[in-house]
Amino acid sequence: MSRLAYVNGRYLPHGQAVVHIEDRGYQFADGVYEVCAVLGGCLIDRDFHLERLERSLAALAIPKPMSRAALLVVLGEVVRRNHIVDGLLYLQVTRGVAKRDHLVPAGLRPALVVTARRIDLAALDAKAARGIAVKTLAEIRWRRRDIKAIGLLPNVMAKQEAHAAGAAEAWFVDDDGLVTEGASTNAWIVNAGGQLVTRALSHAILAGVTRRALLGTAADLGLAVVERAFTPAEAMAAREAFITSATAFVTPVIRIDESPVGDGRPGPIAMRLRLAYLEQARAGRGAHANHA
Ligand code: PDD
């Protein structure tokens, strides 16, 4: 079965899906994106993703490529035509095609690309059951990390550096010595009192959709959450640590740099949250009712 991609109004075979060389996304990383999990053929937290997409577009004054209703049709078609049961949907909106000039010309038509691929849920579950290591690195990104912009070079570099050190994720540490977030995930710890701690929303981090939904899951499980920043030292001394994203769901962290977290095994609270999160997501319950 061949993969299809949506490119500016057309569904094309993946290998023939191309954009113009003067697309501003290509030249300036002038665009935004979303990654949305698909479970059982449903887009998880669809409305949260669309809300964030609209916020990112508005922050950069890129017009919406189409109405929310029309976009939902396209997203559904890409999932359906690719026969995705469990997978990931990627959507990217760039400012459009124009002669290379930093100044944005008037009247540009935004470009929309949507792709989807399958994921191996069993492999992701196995990874979570093992837990991952993270490596702390200096925060070198720009100051509008709340915008889900496609310019991800620092994130790519950080992920590479973490990988070279045997870690699956990098945690950025800002000039105040506080963890901002991961290269492609939000960062959490469980403190000695059993409270979940994750950095409060601001321009410093991406407002993760999984983070948002998990706040609901935590409330459903009666777990207290404190939204504040923490240092790597606090995380290393924490009972548990974990990351969240549309691709990792909830994945336990068992080592930060050279320090094991807790007893060096995935924590029970993180694993409980993962299970509850996935169960609610699949059923469209709790905070996930927005994808039903
Ligand atoms: N990354 N922080 C950053 C920097 C991210 O890139 C992401 C998502 C998150 C988690 O957000 P969410 O829960 O909405 O996935 C936090 C996606 C998955 C990616 O770039 O592949």
Per-residue pLDDT of the chain (292 residues), as tens digits, is: 689 999 999 999 999 999 999 999 999 999 999 999 999 999 999 999 999 999 999 999 999 999 999 999 999 999 999 999 999 999 999 999 999 999 999 999 999 999 999 999 999 999 999 999 999 999 999 999 999 999 999 999 999 999 999 999 999 999 999 999 999 999 999 999 999 999 999 999 999 999 999 999 999 999 999 999 999 999 999 999 999 999 999 999 999 999 999 999 999 999 999 999 999 999 987 677 665 4
Do the beta carbons of residue 148 and residue 204 sit within 8 Å? no
Do the beta carbons of residue 32 and residue 105 sit within 8 Å? no
Tell me the C-alpha to C-alpha distance, in Å, between residue 281 and each of 75, 188, 236, 254.
18, 20, 30, 25
* DSSP H or E stretch at residue 45: none
What is the bridge-based pairing of β-strands 186-190 and 132-138? Answer: unpaired
Structure tokens that stand for 22 in this block: 């003067």
Residues facing residue 190 across a β-bridge: 196, 240
Tell me the C-alpha to C-alpha distance, in Å, between residue 200 and each of 69, 81, 211, 261, 262.
31, 38, 11, 22, 24
Taking each helix axis as running N to C, give the angle between helix 209-220 and helix 46-59, from 0 to 180 degrees, rounded to the nearest 10: 140
| pLDDT value for 291 | 59
Q: How far apart are CA 38 and CA 11, in angstroms?
A: 19
For ligand 1, atom 1, name the residue with the nearest CA. 184
Structure tokens that stand for 69 in this block: 């209703």
| pLDDT value for 207 | 98
CB 56 near ligand 1, within 6 Å: no
Q: How far apart are CA 274 and CA 129, in angstroms?
A: 10
Do the beta carbons of residue 41 and residue 87 sit within 8 Å? no
Query: For residue 89, which amino acid is it?
Result: L
| pLDDT value for 292 | 44
- pTM to 2 decimals? 0.97
Do the beta carbons of residue 85 and residue 41 sit within 8 Å? yes
Tell me the C-alpha to C-alpha distance, in Å, between residue 36 and each of 26, 50, 117.
22, 10, 11
* DSSP H or E stretch at residue 204: none
CB 207 near ligand 1, within 6 Å: no
Q: Where in the sequence of the chain do the CATH 3.30.470.10 domains occur?
A: 4-119
CATH code: domain 4-119 is 3.30.470.10
Q: How far apart are CA 56 and CA 80, in angstroms?
A: 26
Compute, in angstroms, the gap from residue 106 CA to the centroid of ligand 1: 31
CB 57 near ligand 1, within 6 Å: no
Within its chain, how far is the Cα of 103 from the centroid? 29
Q: Where in the sequence of the chain do the CATH 3.20.10.10 domains occur?
A: 124-283
Four-way CATH pick for 124-283: 1.20.140.90, 3.40.605.10, 3.40.50.10440, 3.20.10.10? 3.20.10.10
Q: Is 20 left (phi over 0), alpha (psi -120 to 50) or beta?
A: beta
Which residues are designated catalytic?
148
For ligand 1, atom 9, name the residue with the nearest CA. 185
Give every CB contact of residue 119 below 8 A, 6+ residues apart in sequence: 37, 86, 87, 88, 247
CB 115 near ligand 1, within 6 Å: no
